[in-house]
Structure formats: structure tokens, C-alpha cells
Amino acid sequence: MLVETHAHLDYPDFAQDLDDVLRRATEAGVTRVITIGTSIEGSRRAIDLAERYPAVYATVGVHPTYVQEAEEDIFTPLRELAKHPRVVAIGETGLDYHRLPSEEVAKEKQVQVMTALRTETDEEIEAQIRDGAYKSKQVSLFEQQLDLAVELGLNAVIHQRDAWEDTLKILQPYTGKLRGVFHCFGGSLDQASEVLDLDHFVSFTGIVTFKNGAAVREVAAQIPLWKFMVETDCPYLAPVPFRGKRCEPAHTRIVAETIAAARQVPLEEIAEATSETAEKFFQFNRA
């Protein structure tokens, strides 16, 4: 039996056939699915799905890339949502510096004619200022959600992209107060060790099946058995042989099978360990 620890079932990709999607998950041995809140409205949708389907649980949170649309105070609405018994964690929260305002300006400049002596334009300076504001608001949203997790005794689902050092720095003061899972982990073994040393977890997606996923596959093969979980991040990152198609919770089994092969152990061993880890981390007994 497997636990799919990170799905986006509220996305339009699943609007037409969710019953069939969940049936296929059950047939694949995926007995629980956690659907992830990425905004206030998305968190409400996640709870609605958890109310409708016994195998589905919800998290509530605001994704860092939604920072521009988010209100300054997300703590208050998330606190009310998080009291729902089907809510099992806070998140998806974290930091994402992958696309910054200054990078958008740089792209525009590539198609413009620059004068020979021009070194830095007003637009570039303004973009750097926006970068700072963008990062600062992400930090604020991240800390609000970590504070809420501590208040309610919940753990956190962590999103990190191109912001490794800042993410760990922000998490440091929360050591011993909560645990996080770095979802869709794609870093090095050293980075995984940093996460585990802080008593957090990592979670692996279909990336472990990719031809260019050998390094992540090796991390999954080497870290301690009880320190990671499995997920799909569906509808994204469909594993081989479904690349290019919609990913769905049933594919959690392929992720687990690939890790089992990399570790040279039976699938049952991976399923048992990751499910037990997920059970403890997400506190399903709240529901």
C-alpha cells in the first residue's frame, strides 16, 4: 500500500474524470492521496475534495509563486481552513527564485538594441528593487505558514527552487518545532543530508525515472529508508513510460518501483517504509 503525498487534484486537469483517476490509484495500491493547497481558494478546493473522497486528505497553504496575488495576511484565513479535520499539513509553502522580475527585464533587453556605453538602465535598477520586494514577500508568506504550523502542531510541505540557502536559513529557527518535507526533491546527496540533519524529510517524484534523473535516483538509493516519501506532483512530471502525458496518483507506484530497483529491495519494503513515514508525518488520525 502506498501514500501519494503530493497531488494537485483541484487543478482543471482532473475536472472531468477524477472518479476514474482515484479508482486507478486504488487499483495501483495507492490507498491515500494528499491534495495540496497552493492558494487560499485552492486550499478550500482541496478541503472540498477531501470531504468528498475518503481516500483524499488536504493541505492548506500559499505557494511562493502566488506571492503577487496573495494578501499580506494569509495567516488568518489559513488558520481557519487548517482547523478542518481533513487537513493534515501546512503548505505548499517555501521559496522560489526561479523567475525574478530582473530576469524578465533581461529577456526584453535581448531583443533590444543597446548603446555601446550603456551599462545599467533605469528599468534594470527598478527590476532589482522588485526582485528584493518579491523575495521579501515570499519570506513573509513562508514564515507566516511556518508559524501557523507550529501553532497548530502540524508539519509543513516545502517548495524550494533556486533558493536553497535562504530556505534552510528560514527553517533553522523552527528546528524541533515542526518537520518539513522537501517535496519534488532534485538536489544532491549533500543537500539531502542537510535536510535530514535538520530532522526534515525529502520526497521523490517521477524524476527518478527520467533518463536525466540518474543523480536523483542515486540520492533515493542512498538516503536512509525512513527519511523519504513518494509522490507524483501530478498533473506534472509523469514518469516513464508516460512522459508527455498527464501524470496522476496511480503513477506513485512507478516512482516507488523505480526506487526499489535502485536500492535493490522489494517494492513492498519501499511501500511499507514510505507509507509509515507519511502516516506519522501527516497525522491522518486527525481526520
Output the average pLDDT for the chain: 92
Q: pLDDT band at residue 113, thresholds of 50, 70 and 90?
A: very low
Q: What count of Cα atoms within 13 Å lies in the side-chain half-sphere of residue 272? A: 5
Phi then psi for residue 23, to 5 deg, are -65, -45
pTM of the complete model beyond 0.85: yes
Going by the DSSP 8-state scheme, the letter that residue 54 receives in this structure is T
Give pLDDT tens digits for 128-150: 778 888 899 999 999 999 999 99
Give pLDDT tens digits for 168-227: 999 999 999 999 999 999 999 999 999 999 999 999 999 999 999 999 999 999 999 999
Q: Which three cell numbers stand for residue 215?
A: 543523480
Instruction: List all residues 6 or more positions away from 21 whose beta carbon is below 8 Å from its beta carbon.
Output: 9, 14, 248, 249, 250
pLDDT at 119: 56
Domain extent listing, the chain:
2-286
Determine whether domain 2-286 maps to CATH 1.10.260.40. Answer: no
Tell me the DSSP string of 8-32.
-TTSGGGTTTHHHHHHHHHHTTEEE
